[in-house]
Chain A
């Protein structure tokens, strides 16, 4: 018989038996087994072969069948008694190898169950018991011939094993992500269960929803029942604790037979009939079934109700004219879509921004987005300034006092002086007229006839209010966008940076163009990399020594950078003082052109500092070796910010403290406006130079040297340059209302230049990082030091500084603010009916107590909000923990089910 076995084995090997399923082989094995116990050696080989065959997957991977096969040799093995123990073990091992997983108690018990239910007669059970005791030596005190006791011990064993396995799986749950092989190990976890348990698992409600048609129908049946109950019964009675909706919503239904499904369906139809038409339609619309089935359902509903109303108008075909109408509508729709997509394309820089974010990631994108935000801020400013101040002034030019024509040399484009001095560019040009004055041109309103038909347009007032109002609006917009971006990035339960959502939601199904899809692929890739990089950062702790060294380096670097700030500040201050004194001494001795050029020296120095020092900081940052690129950017921003704010503060002091006094006879406001213009132009030129030399030349050099190190885009420095430029604009609005125009032009140029340079010269950041909070930080910086500083500066200029005597709209007043005061006084005199207005002004605006009260209320509100958010976070944490516990409970229950099934199998 041995030769037969070998034959069969050979047959298997050559694939002749491939077609035969396991049952055929099984029969063969049984025959072999009964006839020739002594051929064990061959049989063993045969089993091994079967195992190998099954492992290669020729027979599919139904483990059950294989266990069948494997147990036959096991049977004979057991019959051989203890002496074949080692072979038994090897056999077990081969089964184990086949299964490619742990040979757990389940496997053993499964096999033993098979042995029991298989061909072993009553007399042979002692052998089985022997095998049992061999496998589990701790259960030895059983009488060998009593089968029932064997059974009992078996149950015990299964329970023990299942508990052990349960403990194992629980252990697995506790550290799933930590260990390296976690994936494969855990992947194998559900496979431990027997097929019966797996079937139950597969049919659990959470896994069948939306799977099969029957499940969907029964789910919707349950929903409609619930809906109807809700309609028919008051809610409060339904509130018993046992009626938890989550459990009652789905009843455990699986393997619906076609008849059952039909029953369910008719029930559903009945339920749907009970609903109102809108509810029913909504239900049908929401059902995830195919349209054909939905139609059948709908027709069933109508037929059962006997309501043929719907079909009485049936079979009327769409008339030709209505067809025409619909064709028109369709054509119009497609036109509308075309228009919409055109509008979408008009959205500024959409394509460019996508391109940038795809190639360079969110960090670089945040710079360009910020630039876009700044453009919109300036346009907002212009929208107010242009019609109310500039246009009016242009329409009513002042009687020209100084029409001496100055030659244009080109230098004035940089200095902003010369012929530009007496234009709408600067404060000095604006006059203090009042349009539509009801009385004569004299200021005394006492003698006026009281016909207030024409509203007077008071230029000083308009100037003051427009600037004030535009600042107010900017402030509101800034705070609003800041709060919104804070909300986006720090909200409770924020979905920013959730991997699952990035993966499942990032593909825009609307994309139909090839280039757009390529962009989207790039975009998603960059996003995913950044997300991962953020996680990987949190994994490298440093040693104590390393940390100490790093702290020292940090301290030194900060010292150096602060020292450099101080040095720059002193340099700027002493130079400005020097220029100021020199200016007073030698004004007459040099030519006019040179005098103009001398004005450019101070901006030049400041810009050089602004250009060089950030590079110095970059060198320092290399010494620091931060592991996180985000932190690196924050530190760089912080240093640059300190430098720029200190220099700007010094300049403000220089203008307000020095120039105001020395230029009292001339128009100091115009001078400050010109100065700010010069700074802006210089800043722009230096940015261009920086882009050219810092990026283009570096790239050319690195290409020459054949080194693959293109420059990276320095987000921190560039953003700080933008903030600096914006601060200059805000500082200068009062003195030069057209400064935002220049800023807008500058930003537009900058966008294209930076983009071209970026595309041509730069490489993507070497360490990808996600700029999740970058926009928030930028907006905050724009709001806090930049806007607030400018507002303080302007408030000082409006409330405290005396305007020039011979130019500008406020030439007759002591301070600019007095324009408002004078107006209120006049208003009070002219019409006593508006006393409430003056009362508001006196009590709320001029009284500090009210502002104090307001800020206290605001602070209290903020405090409460913070507490609420903290509470919500805590609750979220608790709920997450709860869900985790539920998961563990679920696994526990699954194991229970499994053990019950095992018991059942044993009893049978």
Chain B
């Protein structure tokens, strides 16, 4: 708290952030608060960075989210979070964010578990294992599921989901917008 009053945001910064993100003024200030509480004392918030561990210890991601490391990797730069990275992340997960942006980032979160730019079978199996929270998912289950997912959504039959295919599949689902959302980033 003390740091925040020493280095408060200026109006036009606030305005700029508001124009560039899907967040409201209050949400930005709320995130600013959280950020200041986490960052080391006496540092200007624009220069301070948080480590991935600090971010994944936020209540929004803490312990339970199976994709927290992916989220951290996608939104961080050089494995650290600046204040703007955090804001960008909150903007994508906010309720007002448009579907295309959400799908874009969802693809990045899901796709690159093995960093090849597609959701292929390995990625899918990894996602399923994370969703079920175990590594000993039956081999049959995994194989069948990946087969079915690719069968349904892989339109051009190249056995991996490209962004366009992923976008197509997600745009049909009303659940996606509701589930890919994080309300509060406070501590």
Give A residues with C-beta under 8 Å from B: 173, 176-177, 182-183, 186-187, 189-190, 202, 206-207, 209-211, 281, 284-286, 288, 290-292, 294-295, 298, 310-311, 313-318, 323, 326, 329-330, 333-334, 337, 493, 495, 498-501, 503-514, 516-518, 521, 524-525, 528-529, 531-532, 535-536, 883-884, 886-888, 890-891
Q: Does B36 contact A (CB under 8 A)?
A: no
Complex interface: chain B residues within 8 A of A511 (CB): 64-65
Give the residue of B84, B144, B155, B182 whose beta carbon is less than 8 angstroms from that of A509: B182
Identify A512's interface contact among B5, B62, B84, CB under 8 A.
B62
- Cβ contacts under 8 Å, B141 to chain A: 528-529, 532
29 contacts between A and B (CB under 8 A): A183-B147, A207-B117, A210-B163, A211-B117, A291-B84, A292-B84, A295-B20, A298-B16, A298-B20, A314-B12, A315-B12, A316-B10, A318-B14, A330-B29, A333-B26, A337-B183, A495-B172, A501-B172, A503-B131, A505-B175, A505-B179, A512-B59, A512-B62, A517-B133, A528-B128, A887-B155, A888-B157, A891-B156, A891-B157
Smallest Cβ distance from A114 to chain B, in angstroms? 27
Bitwise interface map of B from 117 to 158 toward A, beta carbon under 8 Å scored 1, else 0: 110110010011001110000000101111111011101111
Q: Are A516 and B64 in contact (CB under 8 A)?
A: yes
**Among A288, A292, A513, which residue has the most Cβ atoms of chain B within 10 A?**
A288
Any A CB within 8 A of the CB of B170 = yes
Task: Give the residues from 28 to 85 in chain B that come closer than 8 angstroms, CB to CB, to chain A.
Answer: 29-30, 33, 59-60, 62-67, 75, 77, 82, 84-85
In the complex, residue of chain A having the shortest beta-carbon distance to the beta carbon of B83: A291
CB distance from A775 to the nearest CB of B (A): 17
State the Cβ distance, A354 to closest chain B Cβ, in Å: 14
In the assembled complex, the CB of A764 is this many whole angstroms from the nearest CB of chain B, namely: 16
Q: Are B132 and A284 in contact (CB under 8 A)?
A: no
Chain B residues whose CB sits within 8 angstroms of the CB of A890 once the complex forms: 156
- Whether B148 and A532, one on each chain, are in contact in the complex, defined by CB atoms closer than 8 angstroms, is yes
Given A183-B143, A528-B145, A507 and B131 contact (CB-CB distance below 8 Å)? yes
Nearest Cβ on chain B to A357's Cβ, whole angstroms: 15
What are the residues of chain B within 8 A of A290 when measuring CB–CB? 75, 77, 84-85, 88
Q: How far is the CA of A903 from the CA of B59 in the complex (A)?
A: 58
CA distance A314 to B15 in the complex (A): 11
Q: How far is the CB of A326 from the nearest CB of chain B, in Å?
A: 5
Chain B neighbourhood of A517, CB < 8 A: 63-65, 133
| CB-CB nearest in chain A for B28 | A326
A521, B100: Cβ atoms closer than 8 Å = no
Q: Which residue in chain A gives the minimum CB-CB distance to B71?
A: A509
Pairwise interchain contact A311-B159, C-beta atoms closer than 8 A: no
Does A291 contact B85, Cβ atoms closer than 8 Å? Answer: yes
The range of chain B's interface size is 35 or more
Q: Which of A186, A211, A501, A504 has the largest count of B CB atoms less than 10 A from its CB?
A: A504
Assembled-state Cα–Cα distance A313/B20 (Å)? 19
CB distance B180 to A509 under 8 Å?
yes
Contact B169 A291 (CB under 8 A): no
**Which residue of the partner chain, among B26, B106, B144, B182, contacts A532 with CB atoms under 8 Å?**
B144
Q: Could you tell me if A521 and B157 are in contact, using CB atoms closer than 8 angstroms?
A: no
Chain B residues within 8 Å of A286, by CB: 98, 100-101
Question: Judging by beta carbons under 8 Å apart, are B131 and A506 in contact?
Answer: yes
B105's closest neighbor in chain A, by CB? A288
The reply to whether A509 and B20 form a contact with Cβ atoms under 8 Å apart is no
- A284 and B133 contact, CB distance less than 8 A: no
State the CA gap A202–B182 with chains docked (Å): 33
Docked-complex contact B182 and A501, CB < 8 angstroms: no
A-contacting residues of B (Cβ < 8 Å)? 5, 8-12, 14-17, 19-22, 25-26, 29-30, 33, 59-60, 62-67, 75, 77, 82, 84-85, 87-88, 91, 93, 98, 100-101, 104-108, 110, 117-118, 120-121, 124, 127-128, 131-133, 141, 143-149, 151-153, 155-159, 161-164, 166, 169-170, 172-176, 178-184, 186
Please tell me which one of the listed residues A288, A330, A512 contacts residue B30 in the complex, with CB atoms under 8 A apart: A330
* 10 new A-B contacts at CB < 8 Å, known A509-B181, A525-B132: A183-B146, A210-B104, A281-B19, A290-B85, A292-B84, A295-B84, A503-B127, A508-B179, A511-B65, A532-B144
A501–B26 CB distance below 8 A? no
* B156 CB → nearest A CB, Å: 4
A351 to B15 CA separation, bound complex (whole angstroms): 41
A694 to B106, CA, bound (A): 48
Which A residue sits closest to B180, measured CB to CB?
A509
Contact check, A190 vs B158: say whether CB atoms are below 8 A apart. Answer: yes
Does B12 lie within 8 Å of A310, measured CB to CB?
Answer: yes
Contact partners of A292 in chain B: CB under 8 A: 77, 82, 84-85
Report whether A284 and B20 are in contact in the complex, using a CB–CB cutoff of 8 Å: yes
> Are B128 and A505 within 8 A (Cβ)?
no
Tell me the complex Cα distance, A884–B12, Å.
52
- CB neighbours of B157 from chain A (8 A): 173, 176, 884, 887-888, 891
Q: Are B131 and A524 in contact (CB under 8 A)?
A: yes
Separation of A310 and B63 alpha carbons in the complex (Å): 42
Across the two chains, which residue of chain A brings its CB closest to B60? Answer: A512
Known: A503-B128, A886-B156. A498 touches B63 (CB 8 A): no
Cβ-defined contact, A326 with B173, below 8 A: no
Query: What is the CA–CA distance of A507 and B120 in the complex, to the nearest angstrom?
Result: 19
CB-based nearest A residue for B87: A291
Contact between B33 and A330, CB atoms less than 8 A apart: yes
Could you tell me if A284 and B179 are in contact, using CB atoms closer than 8 angstroms? no
Chain A residues near B146: list those with CB within 8 A.
Answer: 183
Instruction: Output the least CB separation between B158 and chain A (Å).
Output: 6
Closest CB in chain A relative to B128 CB, distance in Å: 6
Supposing A209-B164, A334-B186 touch, asked if A499 and B181 sit within 8 A by C-beta, the answer is no
Alpha-carbon gap, A498 to B100, bound state (A): 20
Q: Smallest CB–CB gap between B107 and chain A, Å?
A: 6
The 4 A-B residue pairs with the shortest CB-CB distance, nearest first, are A887-B156, A517-B64, A291-B84, A291-B88
When distances are taken between beta carbons in the complex, the residues of chain B under 8 Å from A891 are 156-158
**Cα separation A514 to B63 with both chains bound (whole Å):** 8
Q: Say how far B11's CB is from chain A's closest CB, in angstroms.
A: 6
Q: A291-B88, A315-B10 are in contact. Are A505 and B30 (CB under 8 A)?
A: no
Given A177-B151, A318-B8, A521-B133, A505 and B101 contact (CB-CB distance below 8 Å)? no
Shortest distance from the beta carbon of A808 to any chain B beta carbon, whole Å: 51
B170/A501 in contact, CB under 8 A: yes
In the complex, A294 Cα to B23 Cα: how many Å? 15
Closest chain A residue to B132 by CB distance?
A525
Closest beta carbon of chain B to A211's beta carbon, Å? 6
- Could you say which of A298, A513, A521, A535 contacts B148, with CB atoms under 8 Å apart? A535
Of chain B, the residue at the smallest CB distance from A287 is B101
A886 partner residues in chain B, CB cutoff 8 A: 155-156
Q: How far is the CA of A682 from the CA of B54 in the complex (A)?
A: 61
Tell me the minimal C-beta distance from B52 to chain A in angstroms. 15
Nearest CB on B from A555, distance (A): 36
Given contacts A189-B159, A202-B117, A512-B64, contact A506 B179 (CB under 8 A): yes
Task: Say yes or no: B152 contacts A504, CB within 8 Å.
Answer: no
Q: Which residues of A contact B121 (CB under 8 A)?
A: 183, 187
Residues of A within 8 A of B14 (CB): 318
Chain B residues positioned under 8 Å from A495 (CB to CB) = 172-174
**From residue A160, how far is it (CB to closest CB) to chain B in Å?**
24
The answer to whether B101 and A493 have CB atoms under 8 Å apart is no
In the complex, the chain B residue whose C-beta lies closest to that of A184 is B121
A322 to B146, CA, bound (A): 54
Contacts of B173 in A (CB 8 A): 495, 498, 501, 504-505
Please state if B149 and A503 are interface contacts (CB–CB under 8 Å).
yes
How far apart sit A495 and B153, CA to CA, in the bound complex (Å)?
A: 12
Please, how many angstroms separate the alpha-carbon atoms of A190 and B156 in the complex? 13
What A residues does B10 contact at CB under 8 A?
314-318
A517-B64, A535-B148 known; A295 and B16 CB under 8 Å?
A: yes
Contact A498/B16 with A290-B88, A337-B184 known, Cβ cut-off 8 Å:
no
Pick the contact of A206 from B108, B110, B164 — CB < 8 Å?
A: B164
Question: Are B152 and A498 in contact, with the CB atoms below 8 A?
Answer: yes
User: Assuming A183-B147, A505-B179, is B156 touching A207 (CB within 8 A)?
Assistant: no
B158 contact set on A, CB distance < 8 A: 189-190, 887, 891
